[in-house]
Structure formats: structure tokens, C-alpha cells
A and B are shown apart, each in its own frame.
Chain A
Amino acid sequence: QSALTQSASVSGSPGQSITIFCTGTSSDIGSSNLVSWFQQHPGKAPKLIIYEGNKRPSGLSNRFSGSTSDNTASLTISGLQAEDEADYYCCSYARSGAFVIFGGGTKLTVL
């Protein structure tokens, strides 16, 4: 099972919006709405920010939003803030092979 594909890095200025894409196949992202996104700051455990494609955990800022279309998932962060600088990982349930696969991660830099 190959990893999901994410761009290595993305950047934006405070207040701007950015979108991170995650590409998979019909066996994973395209097979269900079970796509999650995680934020990880250096030296910390990952934190769930989106689940089931577009749902936010309770208490999470609505600046974070997710969507899926065919075999691609996306994470949009609006109104960028300095504390959003982190690594972001997509994750999907996979219908064949391993149950769960991650993307390679995208490093977000807030300029």
C-alpha cells in the first residue's frame, strides 16, 4: 500500500488562506469519507483537526476545514496565524491491504 501524496511544503502570510492537497486512489480516499487530518508541532504528538473528510473535533477553530473529491482530499486553513506553523498529515481508511495509510506530510511555514 503506497502512502498518500502530499506536497512537501506550503507557505503563507498571516491572515491569508492556504490549501493542502492529499492524493490517493479509489482504494483509499476514493472509497469512503474516512479521511482525517493531523497537525503536529515539533516534539509534540499529532493532533486531530479533521475527521470523516470535513468534520472538526469539538472546540477546534473553524479556520480549519476539509473536503474530499474523488481520490483527493484537501485541508484549508484560513486566517493564517503564527501558531499554525506545523507539519500536517492526511490519513485515510484503505479498503484493501493495510487498513490505514498516511500521507508523507506537508510542512506549513507562516511567513
Chain B
Amino acid sequence: EVQLVESGGGFVHPGRSLRLSCAASGFTFDDSAMHWVRQAPGKGLEWVSGISWNSGSIGYADSVKGRFTISRDNAKNSLYLQMNSLRAEDTAFYYCAKDMQFILTGAFDRWGQGTLVTVSS
């Protein structure tokens, strides 16, 4: 069974950093591109970042470019999101999502349950 389990969310003050992790199991991790998608409470989905199977292709939403860094460790079946200079508008549930392809396509066929990041003073 495919499982994606996010961790690392929590409460943080503006300007601080947080690192999210996603532990993957039940599929061949390095066969798939991976993504982070967020959803502010009561709002819609927003793609945050994606990384191809071999980390050769990486993309970011304009809203996080220069502040967030995505990475993966295929040996550990894990995806990460380093979030720096956090702002109140980054408050959201952050989902780890698996792409159906090894490149970035947006066809997210498996999702984690999400981890909540709250940025507030």
C-alpha cells in the first residue's frame, strides 16, 4: 500500500525556519517525481514545489521562490521542504504528493494526510 507520511509541521514565528519531511513507502520512490502542495485553512490548493525523480528538474511557485528549498533522498525514500523566512501567509496544511510520472506533470496520484504549519507572532 502506498503511504506518504508528512512530519515537521508546527507553530513558528515570522522570519523563522522549518523543515518538513515526507516518508514514502509502498512504491519505488525513485520512479516518481514528488511535490509539496499546500492549502490554507478554508482556501484552495496551491502547488508549492516539485522535484523530478533524480532531482534534475526542480520548480517553485513564485510565492516561495528564494525562500523554500525542496530536496529528496532516494536512498531513504524521503522528500523534504526547507522553509526559510516564513511569513504569516505561509500558514497552511502542507501535503506531500506523488506524481504519476518521473517528471513533473501535476498528476498527483497519491497524497499524504498533510502537516499543519502555523506562522504567527
Contact = CB atoms under 8 A, between A and B. Distances in A.
A38 to B, nearest CB: 7
Interface of B: 35, 37, 44-47, 50, 57, 59-62, 95, 100, 104-109, 111-114
B45 A98 contact: no
Nearest to B113: A45
A35 to B, nearest CB: 8
Contacts of A51: 100, 105, 107, 109
Given A51-B109, A52-B107, A93-B106, A100 B44 contact: no
Interface string A24-36: 0000000000111
Contacts of B35: 100
Given A36-B107, A57-B109, A99 B59 contact: yes
A40 B35 CA distance: 18
A45 B114 contact: yes
Q: Which of A3, A46, A47, A93 is the most central at the interface, judged by chain B CB atoms within 10 Å of its CB? A: A46
Of listed B59, B95, B106, residue having the most chain A CB within 10 A = B106
Contacts of A3: 44
A104 B60 CA distance: 18
A54 B46 CA distance: 22
Q: Which interface residue of A47, A51, A52 has the most chain B CB atoms within 10 A?
A: A51
Given A45-B112, A89-B44, A99-B59, A34 B107 contact: yes
Contact of B108 (A1, A36, A99, A105): A36
A77 B112 CA distance: 25
Nearest to B63: A98
Contacts of A23: none
B105 A93 contact: yes
Contacts of B62: 1, 97-98
B109 A34 contact: no
B108 A102 contact: no
A92 interface: yes
A18 interface: no
